[in-house]
Amino acid sequence: MEESRGPLDESGGTMSDDEEEEEDIDDSVLHDMDHFEQTFKNISQRYRLINRIGEGTFSTVYKAEDLLYEHYQNDWDMDAEKENANTNSYKSSNGRSHKPRYVAIKKIYVTSSPIRIMNELELLHDLRDSPNVCPLITAFRHQDQVIAILPFFQHKDFREYYREFTVSDMRFYFHSLFTAMQSVHEAEILHRDIKPTNFLYSPSQQRGVLVDFGLAEREGTDWAQCTCCLDASERNRKISSSVYASSKAAAEAAGQPMPRPSYPKDDTRSSRRANRAGTRGFRAPEVLLKCTAQSCAIDIWSCGIILLTFLSKRFPFFQSTDDIDAFLELCTIFGRNKMKDTALLHGQVLQTNIPNMSTSGHSLEKIILWCNNRHRGDDKSALTEDEQEAVDFMKRCLELDPSKRITAQQALEHPWLAGDSLLGSDD
């Protein structure tokens, strides 16, 4: 999961030579880039490293100038057409007659699985013509090192604008994000790591691109039937015949409380296994519950959490350090009753002795007003019409049952994103 260490300069492919020299680069970064150039054969003949712009669990990302840009067809360059008119009149301080073109070089750590590397490159290649998805330009391998060459997009760090965005600004952001989601999901691909730092957005251009497919996989990978896959009648039959349901029914018939749960000291049964990859605070409840039939709906949930971040002006909104705490955070918002039903949906049982956990939870409207200190009963204590429409959209994204969650295509057709003011916004 790529995590940017700091804000990325919103200057991209149109940065002048003078601006470029103003970048403050730490000595350790200079040493890192020098080592990269020395250990990766011929990299300095193709690209001029400028700065290290991202560092994560599986890779490091560098900004670089493409020295051979004019020698290749560059269909990936979305800004080329609009700049062609001014190219002839451009002359840099070093006598260069064309503007420098920048790329992002993703150096994948040698400790990464070869299968994982191949999977990411294959998915990026398959999505190369998808709107609002970062395309793969090319890739190189030298001995055990693999690098992916990606476009360097103009964008602004999420932390610099999420508190200032109006609901109208959010509409442009999410129209761009769900356009990317529609392309990815139509290709039956789960991104698995939707979060603000993986959607590079330029507020000035009202355009964003989805990046980092390191955790992505094709839908159906490691799939196994889960209770949530059954139709309602079959699911209810299976749940009603479970040991938990039988114990509950017996206790109710006897007019006694449920017996205290007990577990074998040496349980030889294998634990439930499922993909739980993702970033804390953005994972859907079915991921936390180890659902074995996860779908593209997990990405939609993550998009809903981003919208909750915008509306609440809290980032990160969730602060859990493990799966149990993450699930309890959801219980606090949605309530114990709904989360019990959600657990049963995936063949799990929620049992907790936390005394002050709400049974019914809190409305998302109430949470947003509270986070914005607008819950005092004055004129500003109610959501505006635009805010309410955004909340209604968010509720569709944050459905606890993944089968009821809105799809990317449905999201783009939702009144909140289908307004006339958004037409042509990504042209």
Instruction: Supply 199's token pair.
Output: 């959607």
Of the candidates 193, 322, 323, 427, the residue annotated as catalytic is 193
Long-range Cβ pairs for the range 343-348 (8 Å, 24+):
343/289, 344/227, 344/239, 345/227, 345/228, 345/235, 345/400, 345/401, 346/226, 346/227, 346/228, 346/286, 346/289, 346/290, 346/291, 347/226, 347/227, 347/238, 348/289, 348/290
Half-sphere exposure of 171 (CA within 13 A, CB side): 20
Q: What DSSP assignment string belongs to 342-375?
A: HHHHTT-------TT--SS---HHHHHHHHTT--
Alpha-carbon distance 22 to 29, whole Å? 15
Tokens for 320?
């859990």
- Any catalytic annotation for residue 193? yes
Cβ within 8 Å of residue 16, ≥6 positions away: 92
CA 41 to the chain's CA centroid: 33
User: SS3 of 79, please?
Assistant: coil
Residue whose pair of structure tokens reads 């400028």 in the numeric block = 50
Torsion angle, CA of 84/127/409/385, rounded to 10 degrees?
-50
Residue 341 exposed, middle or buried by CB count within 10 Å (0-12, 13-18, 19+): middle
Closest Cα partner for 195 from 301, 333, 288?
301
| N residues, the chain | 427
Hey, which residues are catalytic here? Answer: 193
